[in-house]
Structure 1
């Protein structure tokens, strides 16, 4: 059992998947429940007494992870979804990297999808190192990640405010990555770290997901990017989901109040990404 890392899992109505994945975690687990009504929190607390179950009573989306990080008593926190887990040795390696590199605020893993273990395209893109590797860093720099595949330095995560509650879910990682990089932290990819992910898309509303993803792309640009990038993002995201434009319009006063530009070096690296 790793004593430097806590695994934080945010969940909602996924009791059956948790019974499959929780036994795989090689570190203490804090399970943050987003108002499930399937009896999951009670069942998990009974079946896994070592797991700290936090019942929020409401659905906070990705920001539920913030509560888990606040409660963690370790210097590093790994995120996992209710349908994912870190492979043996990965958390210990991540902790060693964070111990060794004081500037490392976040390290992200290679993600293998499904029973066949096919490489997630996001991991392949990170391995290509489009923004290079800082001198002395343990791996290529990243300015985005999959939430189920990162280990964060707890103090760094909390100092930038964690996941933004207004973004809820889908694409919430981009803003956090920008803010950690703006604070001077390294965010790096290490393909020796491995996460297994077993997503089940059946039953999800793809139209609703596209709308939220488009909204979050627009809001993230409004919050941090220069006007030209904001305009380009608004056009492309509205094309993906016209209804998302109305969502952004309602959130516009909030976004403008919280807008702040990124340091030039971070913005320059974002511009070098294929999505930049």
Structure 2
């Protein structure tokens, strides 16, 4: 397809960040609707050249190095549409989903981020985050199209481009994994609304490539602490550090990694407005209760 035809009249650009995942891209790229910007994080498997050859309609940005989640920032800057949807190399948006999302943004000027419903794997199971978002512990603001949220999955999110760039995009201190929390906090602090829209659907078929689950636990612990240092009250920092210390090997490793990045996080620290901090506290209490109920039901 001619890239010009894609861009004509398009209101949503899909930004895909990738690294060494050509087999996944070969399956997912044909499923995208509208303009696509692929930002390559220094792949060594020939991904940029392969995409340019197989999918000439895709705009490829080869960074030459791994910038983690912040690679998406470059894609958003290059987008020429008012709204941007994120996708992973192993995910894509359902037909018509992005047009529906654009309509919601058009109708709700304060909407800065829309969290869609993410269906996982061949059996299309809703990601566990969907139930937490639908529970609406923060209620539904009258000027938003769905429950107010402060959490989302990047591969199931659509953003207002100007709001995203104004909030600084994703953060190089956090780098990757759990990068959504700080962005949500800064969007809310700037007055933007974040909402869940279950009828805007993304599909995520996790890559068959090997995943280091211990490494991900370490990243989760590290980034939970770093995000708290960047924006949350010090008692939250202490609570998350203590949880990591009690967690075990991967969490201990993550805590040590957080300590090494601590000077950068402290240098960029900016406490949230009281109302946003209170919303996070309320959300965390509701999430803990939700997890306790789910664990109890699973034990029966």
Is TM (by shorter chain) over 0.5? Answer: yes
Shift of residue 133 of structure 1?
0.7
- C-alpha contact (below 8 Å) 2:37/2:59 kept by paired residues: yes
- C-alpha contact (below 8 Å) 1:238/1:244 kept by paired residues: no
Cα RMSD of the aligned pairs, angstroms, is 1.2
Shift of residue 165 of structure 1?
1.2
2:269 to 255, 259, 266: 259
Question: Where do 1:129-148 residues align within 5 Å?
Answer: 129-148=136-155
1:113 aligned to 2:113? no
1:269 aligned to 2:261? no
- Structure 1: state its 5+ residue gaps: none
1:124 aligned to 2:131? yes
- TM-score of the pair, normalised by structure 1: 0.97
Number of corresponding residues = 276
1:230 aligned to 2:237? yes
1:178 aligned to 2:185? yes
1:13 aligned to 2:14? no
Q: Which residue of structure 2 lines up, in the alignment, with residue 212 of structure 1? A: 219
1:67 aligned to 2:74? yes
Greater alpha carbon shift after TM alignment, 222-231 vs 75-84: 222-231
The CA distance in 2 between the partners of 1:4 and 1:61, in whole Å, is 26
- TM-score of the pair, normalised by structure 2: 0.89
SS in 2 for 1:26: coil
The CA distance in 1 between the partners of 2:221 and 2:119, in whole Å, is 26
The CA distance in 2 between the partners of 1:255 and 1:41, in whole Å, is 32
- Structure 2: state its 5+ residue gaps: 1-5, 289-300
- C-alpha contact (below 8 Å) 1:217/1:237 kept by paired residues: no
Q: Deviations over 1:228-266 (max 9, x none)?
A: 211111111233311222212222222212111111111
The CA distance in 2 between the partners of 1:102 and 1:79, in whole Å, is 20
Segments ≥4 residues shifted beyond 2 Å: 237-240
Shift of residue 67 of structure 1?
0.5
SS in 1 for 2:28: helix
